[in-house]
Structure 1
Amino acid sequence: MLPKQRQDQIVRALKADGAGGVKVLAAQLRVSEATIRRDLEQLHEQGRLTRVYGGALAVDGGDEPFAEVSAVHADEKDRIARRAASLISDGQSVLLDIGTTALRLAQHLHGRSLTVVTSNLAVLEELQNDEQIELIILGGFVRRSYRSLVGYLTEESLRQIHVDWLFLGTSGVRPDGRVMDSTMIEVPVKRAMITAADRVALLADATKFPGHGVAKVCDPSELSVVVTEPGADEATRAQLEEAGVQVVLA
């Protein structure tokens, strides 16, 4: 693989996950950690990412097209989404966060008698013709690059509802179990979603454990369930379980 191709893959992975560690990126791209460090330094100099200790953060405001993000870790996201769908009982109300894993969860809800609330425009497109599902779209400012609704109107809409389940995405889970996000504009909406739900399920593939992020979304005590993979960091999983969180492996 040419250096330019490898560096483009690094940037796409960071846009999808919000952040990435040197070890994780080296394993994903099958190159040495020294190579990844050199790539990160070059990409930082070019302004394509922000270099931090142990890895790098995506540059906020420059999202990749939704379809490209969706293709990253696609199989892992689908397994997590399928397992998450099994937690939902017919007749329940479900709040879906932004992001591509939430979209994959929506794909596993077709034909079920549910109420789905979302600020995710991709979920709207997926479920709008399914007559079994009562679909509620939150208001707000359209963030076209990531196909989501954000802002005061979104947060105010969330204050008017209450649901059985929230399925939440993240940029990363810190070793102490804190849920983080690198996209600052989405964090107030995520916090309002947590307040609006009886139970909160975090959907996160193994690359998010442990992860990075510039803003805290919630403490582990605010989660009910985490749906992830067997490869997720065991120490972080142990911290979540110690906080009373059920960790479900897809």
Structure 2
Amino acid sequence: MLIGMLPAERRRRILEEVRQSGGLDVVSLSERYHVSKSTIRRDLDFLDGQGMLQRVRGGTIDADTRTFAQIVTKAAADKLAIGQRAAALVKDGDIVLIDIGTTTAAVAEALHGRRITVLTASLAVVDILRDSPATELVVLGGVVRASYLSMVGSLTAQALAQLRADIAFLGTSGVRDDLIVMDSTGTEVPIKHSILENSTTAYLVASPDKFPGSGILQICPVTDFDGVITTATGPLIDSIRSSGVQVIHP
């Protein structure tokens, strides 16, 4: 039922449609969701402001088409420091779950050569650790998302449900002012839930641009994590610390 839909749900559906089709215009969206063109424009402005898509002459272009290679260089020094600090929390013999993403890939870089078991759906992590002789590497199944060097979907979540990790490192597209951890891709959310559910300890690893960052899909409150590893400072970081979550700086 599209009539009377809440704005957040409408925006989520618009974002998914844009990703599937590659672009939609204001008129067709207005007709589909039974709202005015000005309402659709406000929705698109919101999504544009969140970095989820870009508007071009009344239409839309999905902005979440940047490749892993394009993103990995952003805040590279911060990610390197975060990865090294995260790796210091891992003990020899641990089973480590590493989420997809560029900051989590930095964690894998810092773990190269360690005597551990790594579970991951990240093809980037696989590439980093495949020649690490002491590391046992378990690759989770799923649908390949080539642009972001990852595997996603229900198969990945199902594989995670059969496993248990000592420690996990997860990424995010942003943390809101109300301390909700966000993501921008629907297929990644259930995977992150499975990682949290199947890990004894879980840390959020995030560069400064993720506070507040972007995202339209809620993952969970930041209080579901045992800690946040970041180089970021400021009021939002202070709020996270005040919530009782450990903030770990490199």
Shift of 1:65: 2.0
> How big is each residue's C-alpha offset from its partner over 1:120-160, in whole Å with a ceiling of 9 and x where there is no partner?
00111111121200110101111111111111110110100
CA distance in 1, matches of 2:174, 2:126: 25
Alignment partner, residue 40 of structure 1? none
Cα distance, 1:212 vs. partner?
Answer: 2.7
Identity across aligned pairs (percent)?
41
Alpha-carbon distance in 1 for matches of 2:115, 2:159: 23
1:89 alignment partner, one of 88, 91, 116: 91
Determine the structure 1 residue equivalent to 2:110. Answer: 108
Match of 2:30 in 1: none
Match of 1:67 among 47, 66, 69: 69
Preserved contact between residue 180 and residue 213 of structure 1 (Cα < 8 Å): yes
Q: After the TM superposition, list the runs of 4 or more consecutive aligned residues in structure 1 that deviate by more than 4 angstroms.
A: none
Paired residue for 2:51, among 57, 63, 69? Answer: 57
Of stretches 139-148 and 234-243 in structure 1, the one that deviates more from structure 2 is: 234-243
Q: State how far apart, in whole Å, the 2-side matches of 1:54 and 1:111 are.
A: 41
Unaligned 5+ segments in structure 1 are: 1-44
Structure 2 letter corresponding to 1:171: S
8 Å Cα contact 1:204-1:228 kept in structure 2: yes
Q: 2:182 aligns with which of 180, 183, 186?
A: 180
- The TM-score with structure 2 as length reference comes to 0.75
In 1, the alpha carbon distance for the partners of 2:127 and 2:191 equals 20
| 1:173-221 CA-partner distances (Å, limit 9, x unpaired) | 1112111111122111111111111111101111111233111111122
**1:121, 1:74 → 2: CA distance?**
19
Query: What do you get for the CA RMSD once the two structures are aligned?
Result: 2.0
- SS of the equivalent of 1:136 reads strand
Post-superposition offset of 1:61? 7.4
3-state SS of 1:226 partner: strand
Aligned pairs for 1:1-250 (under 5 A) are 50-52=44-46, 55-59=49-53, 62-229=64-231, 231-232=232-233, 234-250=234-250
SS of residue paired to 2:131: coil
Structure 2's unaligned 5+ residue stretches are 1-40, 54-61
Amino acid at match of 1:193: I
* Inter-partner Cα distance in structure 2 for 1:197 and 1:169: 15
1:248 maps to a residue whose letter is: I
For residues 53 and 127 of structure 1, what CA distance do their matches in structure 2 show? 36
* Counterpart for residue 5 of structure 2: none
Letter in 2 for 1:101: T
SS, match of residue 51 in structure 2: strand
Number of aligned positions between the proteins: 201
Distance 1:139 1:206, change over 3 A: same
Q: Is the 8 A contact 1:51 1:57 kept in 2?
A: no
- Partner amino acid, structure 2, of 1:57: G
What letter matches 2:197 in structure 1? T
The structure-2 alpha-carbon separation of the partners of 1:51 and 1:77, relative to structure 1 and needing over 3 Å to count, comes to farther
Which whole-Å CA distance do the structure 2 matches of 1:228 and 1:61 have between them?
25
Query: In 1, distance between residues paired with 2:156 and 2:132?
Result: 24
| Alignment check: 8 A CA contact 2:52 2:214 kept | no
Cα displacement (A) at 1:244: 2.1
Q: Larger Cα Rg: Structure 1 or Structure 2?
A: 2
- Matched residue SS, 2:201: strand
2:52–2:215 contact (8 Å) kept in structure 1: no
